[in-house]
Each structure stands twice: as structure tokens, then as C-alpha cells.
Amino acid sequence: MKIRQIAIFMENKPGHIMGICRILADAGISITTLSLADTQQYGILRLIVNQWEKAAETLEKAGYVVNITEVLAVEVEDKPGGLLQVLEIIRSGDINVEYMYAFTFRHGEKAVMVFRFNDPDKAIELLAKSRVKVLDGVALFKEMH
Amino acid sequence: MKENASDKVFNPASATDYVPLPQLRGLQLERLKRAVAGAYRNQRCGLFKKRMDESGVKPEDVQSLDDIRRLPFSVKTDLRDTYPYGMFAVPQREVVRLQASSGTTGKPIVVGYTKNDIAVWSDAMLRSMSAAGLSSEDVIQVSYGYGLFTGGLGAHYGGETLGATVIPTSGGNTERQIMVMQDFGVTAICCTPSYFIHISEKAAEMGIDLKALALRAGVFGAEPWSEAMRHRIQEDTGIKAYDIYGLTEIIGPGVAMECAEQSGLHVFEDYFYPEVIDPGTLEPLPDGEEGELVLTTLAKEAIPMIRYRTRDITAIMPERCACGRSVRRIRRIGRRSDDMMIIRGVNVYPSQIEAAVLKIKGLLPHYEIILTREGGLDHMEIKVEVTPALFDDRIRAVESLQQQIAHAVFSTVGIHAKVTLAESKSIARSEGKAKRIIDRRGI
Amino acid sequence: MKNRKAPFEDRIFDLDECLPRERLAALQIDRLNRTLDRARHVPFYADRLKRVGAIKSLDDVKRLPLTTKLDLRGGYPLDFMAIRRDEIARIHGSSGTTGKMTFVPYSRRDMESWRNLCARFLSAGGLRPGHLVQICFGYGLFTGGFGLHYGVEHLGAAVIPAGAGNSERQLAILRDIKPDAVVCTPGYALNLAEILQAEGVDPSELNVKFGFFGSEPWTDEMRARIEDELGIFATDNYGLSEVIGPGVSGECPWRDGMHVSEDHFLVECIDPETLEPVAPGEKGELVITTLAKEGMPVIRYRTRDISSLDPEPCPCGRTGVRMSRVTGRSDDMMIIRGVNVYPTQIEEALLRIREAAPHYEVELTRPGALDVATVRVEMLPGMFSASMKEMVELRERIMSAISSVTGIRMEVELVAPQSLQRFLGKAKRVTDLRFKEEPKP
């Protein structure tokens, strides 16, 4: 159920994201979605890609510091209160959201969001109980194409 | 330049500085013999005896001041290796004060003072301040940091012994420093030269003209500074800027000080006997030639020092000073024979930073130290290459890593460093010894 | 707890501490009259004391005018000085908003009195010549560091001027240099004890036997913990820079209140509302008149500290009245890690960032041993930015403004507009959660 996210450390310098995208494109890897968190001095680029192992290896070879994290891709009703419903379930289990970002596509009538929870296993359990769908990597990749 | 009425006035407190040379040399020889004999026979600290025995010298071999060159050297690591009390030559009940400075690794260098040592130190500081034309009429602001660092308390006791009004503002809170200077008619300030430049820039920002204040003298030390900096300070603020020299291992500030001539620093050589050696061959150099300064304490009780290698590069000036003082001068110190940095007046060794960074997760990433100076203040940036073990996809975790490194550095050297993270392999590698320090301060 | 036996023979440092009450009263009246004469050099007092003749009985004291912190601030910088400028040996300062600090000039005689007063309570708390004392107070304009420094020197013990902060270095000193006594705030002592424990250091590896704690409020529970965890005998002392600094009063081995050095300070306890004296033993605001101060004498200075006075004789032989530990303030001053801070200073810091100060509140907690001050600042329109970089910068700017005005580091949280509680009338800016009573079982 968990999917692998690649996080890359970047100093805040022009052309940096471009460089990373080029490396991935040259290796034939496609980016499913991404989020960029920035601070004064550096940024953390988080990516969901179709082949995470290859992507990580390629980036590391190119000299980047890469970190692999497990996150959850959760289906959210694409209507007012949709996200709220998911958050309420999470809250009931005393789980914290470390961060989250959205997918660029819809899954049928649903939107998909990426979450990093402090306790992903418990989150999966709770979400499943409430019939909220957590997507795996294969499903996500199919969705894109 | 402002009126400095007491520039040429003889201050009785500094009489010793004018003793005719034969008498001075006689006094030095007598004190040297006593110091060497005392160090050799000391029951508590066997270091000097061991070294002298090894080089086959007996105290009786010291019959002239020139014989000092037969004695073995002592070095900074001696204090570290005998930490904390190994070099104390008196029982603890005779020690009335401890001070410390940073060592080359995590452990500080701890020094002790007897009541008499404090009196010697206060006297050396009093004579330093007299050389800067200060007297009991003055209002002295001490903006050096107080505490274990010798700068603050050294200047404080000197000012008190002089009979002046002392305002112990300590370091920091620059606006308040300026307010105090203005409101209390401060006539002299003691701090690092770079901090004074910071004060003057801040004052300009606040619309306060230091030239219009009563301030007329600055006693600046604890870090190297240039003639260009002196000119700038004197031009911008109308005060006379004096260089003072000293080191914790010997006593603290007050080993040597400039007079109104501002041409070299007079060593208070009745207390501290100076030599200059070639740091390579360790042979003494004739006066006028540049080399490493070596000091022997002639009146220190708690921790006497025989031929201490300061690592500071200077030369003894052979000519007599126009001010009339007989005690010799050394040239201003511009560089060192080791890799010690002086940041905001604090001595820092790259090895200390390394020890601090190593504390985090037990591994040593590539790093470099970048020193800059903005608005007169030194800034230390530690640039650390991110490794997979240090990296995390959560910003808060990465920020906490930065804080941990900064904290480890602070608790080791006492300086707040800015920790920045760099991509891997982005810090230049050099063959052999890495160039860890990039000094952009333009000293 | 109070009667835990002192592990040493009491030694009275100065016989003046044991003057019989009637002799003491005569001395006080004599010195008070001299102080009034000296105070007349200060225009503020010259004016107020115009109709005051010689004091014949201590009962007359209540007819003298009170002096407030506001009065002293109005006399900035040195209007309250009663000596010539060239007679000043030292100047210290108390905290306050920038430009509103109170500066206190000391004559050479004042410095001598001060070191004697500090040596008194140090001796009463067990310090002896030859001991080694680690002073973890900040030096500088703050009187804490220097007062104790010279007191220790005067007593004939040795000083390690460790200064404030850098716990790891303090700990290295405790372990390696092995001082006999430590001087700091009680919170800092607990903090050191906690770090010792965390590092697995047994207190028996240390040599520290005495602790001298002051500058911030503490409790008997805290004392018990500090004593157990550091294996020391802890005494409390009291003072304030407007009056002299530490040395106004200190505990004896019986530790049932702090003996006021009444040969130097005349103390009263008044109701802060009616300004009338309270009954002996009742709580009230402490009012102090200096009796030997030359640089800056103060007449009936309102300390704003809430305490009580116990005139009963003490078995130790010191005759100075005993004041209870300070339990609170009659104004809004906070004492954070031993530093005095007024809410107006935080306002001043916020005004440096923007022209209109946003709504804010301060919460004081003590999660471990050390005080933590958290300032919550409501965002105003125009303060918010979508860039995290700018938000982080804003927070840091506020933190550095606060630390530059107050001298201590506070946590800053940026909170949503209108999220802080509003009060009718005077805003309640400060919530102090440090001394919440534990529910008794």
C-alpha cells in the first residue's frame, strides 16, 4: 500500500530542478507528481516516479543526496469536505500529518493526495476501516497512462 | 584627532616602564633565576624539571639573561595534557581565580592566579592603560566579554586599579553600548577592534557622531588588526586607537601595549621576558628579525611559564621608543605559525570545529569554515556537505540537524555559527590537507 | 526540610550581623539621618525632604516619601547620584526598556560594603577561605555576577568566573575543576542536575557542597530536588540592583527566612494598595531604605517584591530580621532565567519590526529545569507571505529583536489573526504556568 517517494536535497540555485528533470528524462523515468519545500538556503524536492529504484540510482550516480521515504497516496472525494473527511479519520487515531501534497490527475471521480504520516501503518488500517482507498504504486502508474 | 592632554604626561603608575636598562636587566636576571629555580624545584608540577633534566640544564646554569636560550620550551599542549591542575605550582588554597581559554580540542585551557598574580595582572593592565594616556579621571567602558575569557576581567581590574570609573557593559547589545557611551561621558573603551567598528557603524546609523562625544581612546586587542583599520577607526571616530597584546597562558591582556607613539607594543618585560625565535630551527633571532614570540613569566606564582611558544609572529624592535620608556617593543602581530583563527576575539582551532561536527551522528562529513566580516563583526559559517545519513525529507528534521551542529559548535568554542548545508561533492577537495578555512575578512 | 542539618559549623563573617536590636536601632537612626543628608544632594529628594527634620525614632520612617521605579527612571541617567562624578568607581544597570534602564553609580566605599554584604551570606551558607566557587551568573551591567565575584574574593575563596550559559562547559568545570560551591539561579542548578543525570554522572564524582541561589523565584520542592540531585546544601539570597545588588539578605544555616543586613538596609513591608504597614509576618510589598549607600541612596524604595518579615530571634545569633522568600510581584515584571523582563519590552521589540505592534501574549513554562518564554504573535495583514523563506525570516527577525531588547532568547510562534484571547480593559499579556501547584494527594 505504501509507495516510495524520492526526496532530493538541493541548494537554492537557479537551474537546479531543471538539471534533475533532465537526468530523469534521459533515463526514461517519468514523474508522476512532485512537491518542492523551500527554506532560506536550501530546498527539498519530493518526487513520485514510475521507477523509484532506477531514479534513485541514477540521481545518486549524478551526485545527489537522495532519501527514500514511504508515503501514502490516498483517494479523496473531489468535493467540499472531501479532504476534511480523511483528516478527521487520521485525527481520530492520533496520527500526525508530517506533510502532504496533491496529484495532478483525478482517479475517476476522486482526487489523489500524497501524505507522510508519523505512523503510516496505523493510518492505512484506519483509512481502510473507513473505506478510504489507499493506492499502490502500480495503480498510480496505470492511472497516468 | 581629539585633544589627548595626558599623551605626554608622565603617569607615576607606570614608573617601572622607564627604569634605566642596566637596572631593568639586573631585575630581570634576578627574577629569572628565581623563576627557573622555583619551576625546577616545584613539588607539584614536575614538567620543567623533567624537561630541564632531559636537556641537561640545571637552574644554576642561568647566570645571564642570554642563558635563557639553554632552557627547554613549553607549548600550548602542555596545559592541555596536564588539564586541569597539572601545571599549578601552588596549593589550591593560594589560588584565588581561574580563567580559561579554548584549547585545540574540546577541553579548555585552564589557568590559575594567586592573589599576587592578580596584583601583577592588574598592574600590567594599569600600565597599559597609562600608556594609552588614561588616568583616574577617566570613565572606562569595558565591552570585552566577561567570564572565563581574560579580556573583560583583565580590563576591569586594570581600570579599577587605575582608580577610574569602570562601566562593565560586557559584549553585545550595541545600541545600549552607544547609549551608555553617550549618557555617561565615557572617555575610553576596551573591546576588540572589530567590535568597535561595529559600534561606530551602528552609531552612524542611529545618527550619533562619535566625534562629538567625550570618547578619546580605545584599548583594542584579542584579535589581529591592521594599520588600515586603525586609520579608519581614528578618521571616523576621532579617537586614538591603541593595540594591546596578551594571552591567557601567560596572564591575559597586558603583556604588551602601545604608547602614544603607536609604533610597536611595549612589553612589560619586568614581568614577561620576550624572545623571538625561528619557528623552524627554534634558534633565537637577533632583535629586529621576524620570528615566533617566546615569553617567560618572571613574577607569576600559580602557573609560571618558561619559554612559552606563543605561535605569534613578530619582531623585537631594537631602537628605543621616542616616548622614553625603556621596556622594549614588539611589532604588531599580524599572523601566527599555526592554524588558530581568532573570531570575535575568541581563539578557535579548526580541530575544535571538527570535534564538534563529529559529535553529530559520529561521522565527519566534508565541511568548510567561511569567515566574513559584516558591519565590523566576524561571522562564522560552517558549510556541511549533506550525506545520505544526514538527509531527511522533512524540513523540520533538516533544520534540527543544522541546530544540533550549531549547538555543538557553540558548546565547544562559545561562538554562534551559521550552519549551511551544501550538496554532496560541492565543497572543493584539495590534494592532501584540506583547506578548511576560507577567510574573507580581509584582515 | 528547612531543618535539614547544615553539614558545617556556622561562621558569622561580620559581627555587625549580630548587633543587639536596640544598638541596631540606634545605628539605623544615626545612619538614616546621614542618608537623608546625602539624599538632599539629589534634587528629587531635596524637594521631597524639604519639610523633613531629623529622624528621632524608626516610627518616623513611615512619614518619609516613597520612591518608585518610575521615579528612578525619570532621573535617567544619573539624576539620583549623590556623589561627584569623579567619585564613581563603578556603574551597574538594571533591566528595563531601552532608554529606560536604571543606572546605579557606586562609590569606592559602596564597593567595599557590597563585597562585605555578599561575603556575609556566603559565609552563612558554608563558604570558607580556600574554597573554589563557580559563578554561573552573567557578568556585566547585571549586578549578580560581580556582586558574588567580589564577595567570594573578599571572603578569601577563589573564583571561577564561568559566566552564564553553555551548560556543557559548566558541567566540564564541575567535573574537572571540582569547585566546592556553585552560584547560579535555582532553575539553572536544576538544569545542571538534569544534564548530569542524562550523562550518567554520579554526583559523588563532583566535589560541590554548597549552592548559592537567587535572582529568581523558587520553592522548597525545588530546593529539595536540587539538594538531592547535586548532593549540596542550598541557600537563598536576595537583592536588587536599585538598592545594591545581591547582598540585601541571605539565609543562615537554619534556613527559615533570609536575614536582612539591617545595618545597611531599613526594611518595611507595606500593603501595596493602601501603602500602610502590614502586621509582622503578614505578606506585603517590601520597601527598602539604604543606610550606607553613597553613590545612589534610595529612600523607601518600593521593590514590588511580595514577601513577609519575621522579627522573631533566630537561633543562629544573627539579629537581622528575616524576610520570607519572594513569592510574587505587585507589578507585571517577569523574571525569566533570572533576568527581569517587562511586557513593554516585548512590545518595543515588536514595534521594531512593524509600525503597529501586533497582538501578542507571553507564556512562561518550565518544561525541564529552565524557564521557557514563548511569545505568540498574531499575524497582521501584510505580514503573511506564501514563501516559507519569508515566514521563517520574519520569525527570526522577531526573535532577534526580542533578544536584543530583553537580553534573553524567547520562542516565537506566529499564530492566525484573532486567535489570541481578547480582554476587556487591560490586556492579560502574560500567562505564568511555571509554579502551578501540584494537586496534593
Tell me which of C305, C331, C357 is where a domain ends: C331
pLDDT at residue C1, rounded to an integer? 45
Look up residue B211 and give its DSSP letter: G
What's the average model confidence in pLDDT over C273-295?
96
Q: Distance between CA atoms of C186 and C435, rounded to whole angstroms? A: 13
For residues A58 and A88, membership in a common domain is answered with no
Per-residue cell: B37? 629555580
A87-91, B324-328, C365-369: lowest mean pLDDT where? C365-369
DSSP per-residue letters across chain A: --EEEEEEEEES-TTHHHHHHHHHHHTT--EEEEEEEE-SSEEEEEEEES-HHHHHHHHHHTT--EEEEEEEEEEEESSTTHHHHHHHHHHHTTPPEEEEEEEEEEETTEEEEEEEESSHHHHHHHHHHTT--EE-HHHHHHHH-
Quick check: C236 and C250 in contact, CB under 8 A? yes
Quick check: C44 and C72 in contact, CB under 8 A? no
Q: What is the pLDDT of residues B87-105, one digit of tens each?
A: 999 999 999 999 998 766 6
For residues C315 and C368, membership in a common domain is answered with no
pLDDT at residue C325, rounded to an integer? 93
Per-residue cell: C337? 532565567
**Sheet with B418-422, edge to edge strand ranges:** B418-422, B377-385, B367-374, B437-439
**Hey, which residues does C412 pair with through a beta bridge?**
C375
pLDDT exceeds 80 at position C98: no
Supply φ then ψ for residue C5, to 5 degrees: -70, 135
Tell me which of A36, A40, A42, A99 to substitute to probe the interface with C (most C C-beta atoms closer than 10 Å): A40
Q: How many CB atoms lie within 10 A of CB B296?
A: 26
- Report CB contact under 8 Å: A10, B387: no
Please tell me which residue of chain B has the smallest CA distance to C392: B399
Q: Distance between CA atoms of C305 and C328, rounded to whole angstroms? A: 6
Architecture of domain B343-439: 2-Layer Sandwich (3.30)
pLDDT exceeds 60 at position C85: yes
Q: Distance between CA atoms of B99 and C173, rounded to whole angstroms? A: 11
Tell me which of B79, B206, B411, B418 to substitute to probe the interface with C (most C C-beta atoms closer than 10 Å): B411
CATH for A30: 3.30.2130.10
Place of cell 623585537: B316
Vertex B383: Cα angle to B380 and B388 (nearest 5): 150
For residues C365 and C228, membership in a common domain is answered with no
pLDDT at residue B322, rounded to an integer? 94
Quick check: C132 and C158 in contact, CB under 8 A? yes
How many domains in chain A?
A: 2
* Residue C440 within any structural domain of the chain: no
pLDDT exceeds 50 at position C439: no
A36-50, C181-195, C220-234, C320-334: lowest mean pLDDT where? A36-50
3-state SS, one letter per residue, for B273-294: EEEEECCCCCCECCCCCCEEEE
Please, which residues 117-146 of chain C have a Cβ atom closer than 8 Å to chain B?
129-130, 132, 138-141, 145-146
Quick check: B275 and B292 in contact, CB under 8 A? no
Distance from CA of C177 to the nearest CA of B (A): 6
- Is any Cβ of chain A less than 8 angstroms from the Cβ of C393? yes
Distance from CA of C390 to the nearest CA of A (A): 8
Q: What pTM did the predictor assign?
A: 0.83
* Domain of residue A125, residue span: 72-144
- Report CB contact under 8 Å: B421, A11: yes
pLDDT exceeds 80 at position A23: yes
* Residue C153 within any structural domain of the chain: yes
pLDDT at residue C438, rounded to an integer? 47
For residues C154 and C240, membership in a common domain is answered with yes
- Cα B279 from chain centroid (whole Å): 20
Tell me which of C311, C331, C351 is where a domain ends: C331
Tell me which of C285, C310, C331 is where a domain ends: C331
Q: Which chains touch C (3 or more CB pairs under 8 A)?
A: A, B
Q: Which residues of chain B have pLDDT under 50?
A: 5-6, 432-433
For residues C182 and C226, membership in a common domain is answered with yes
Domains B5-337 and B343-439 share a fold: no
For residues A33 and A88, membership in a common domain is answered with no
CATH for C30: 3.40.50.12780
**Residue-wise over A38-76: b if at least 16 C-beta within 10 A, else e?**
bbeebbbbbbbbbbbeebbebbeeeebbbbebebbbbbb
* Residue C367 within any structural domain of the chain: yes
CATH number for the segment(s) B5-337? 3.40.50.12780
Of C73 and C106, which is predicted with more confidence? C106
Nearest to B103 by CA among B443, B330, B435, B412: B412
Please, which residues 43-62 of chain B have a Cβ atom closer than 8 Å to chain C?
none
A63-67, C87-91, C145-149: lowest mean pLDDT where? A63-67
Distance from CA of A79 to the nearest CA of B (A): 29
Which residues of chain C have a CB within 8 Å of the CB of B153?
139, 161
Q: Helix (H, G, I), strand (E, B), or coil: what is residue B118?
A: helix
